[in-house]
Amino acid sequence: MTTQKETAGVRRRTKETDVSLSLTFEPGPIEVDTGLGFFNHMLTQLAFHAGWSLSVTCKGDLDVDDHHSVEDVAIALGKAFAKLVPSGTGRARFGYAYAPMDEALARAVVDISGRSCCVFEGSFAAPSLGMLSTCNIAHFFQSFAANAGLTLHLDILRGENDHHRAEALFKAAALALRMALEPRGGAASSSTKGEAAIDVQGAGL
């Protein structure tokens, strides 16, 4: 298991984006600059409530739209997460949380499983929040889970204000991840299958 102070860095460069990201699983500085104000706000909420130190810069083709920037930041964050936690061993592994924001309520359930799966239930009334397309909120979590090796279930349970609904969702995800990353004593493996379940093909637990 990695120590909490270990930092993972990821650089992702394509014809569409240039992303630099560093992640540490302990509270610390949070600096986010993606060119998308509301997305910056949500990533800051995610890192703060998860108890992470996070640095992200993204220069993307925002003259096209926000899709590539959101997707590539999610990929970089997922890869950094997987570097720090390649399996649930030594961690609580499972986490769940509800988070309210005024009239909005969201739920998140996570398993550091090595199996990439994201189920998202929720909707937004507006097509965008600032420059962030609301359809890319689900895509962010899907891309993050796919690259982090997480099973992630997300539900927006209620809410009238789209800003509140989105922020409750990111906070719930952060709190669930924080729980799943807690150190775990007892059994050497986080699965009844044992650590042989983790192989070069990335078999799940």
Q: Would you write out the chain's pLDDT as a tens digit for each of its 205 residues? A: 444 489 999 999 999 999 999 999 999 999 999 999 999 999 999 999 999 999 999 999 999 999 999 999 999 999 999 999 998 899 999 999 999 999 999 999 999 999 999 999 999 999 999 999 999 999 999 999 999 999 999 999 999 999 999 999 999 999 999 999 999 875 555 555 655 344 434 444 4
Of 163, 161, 169, 164, the closest CA to residue 132 belongs to 163
Domains and CATH numbers, the chain: 7-197 (3.30.230.40)
Q: Which residues pair with 108 in a beta bridge?
A: 97, 154
> How far apart (Å, rounded) are the C-alpha atoms in residues 23 and 26?
9
Of 135, 139, 143, the closest CA to residue 116 belongs to 143
Give Cα 136 distance to the centre of its chain. Answer: 13
In contact, 205 and 197? CB cutoff 8 Å: yes
* Whole-structure pTM value: 0.89
> How far apart (Å, rounded) are the C-alpha atoms in residues 167 and 134?
12
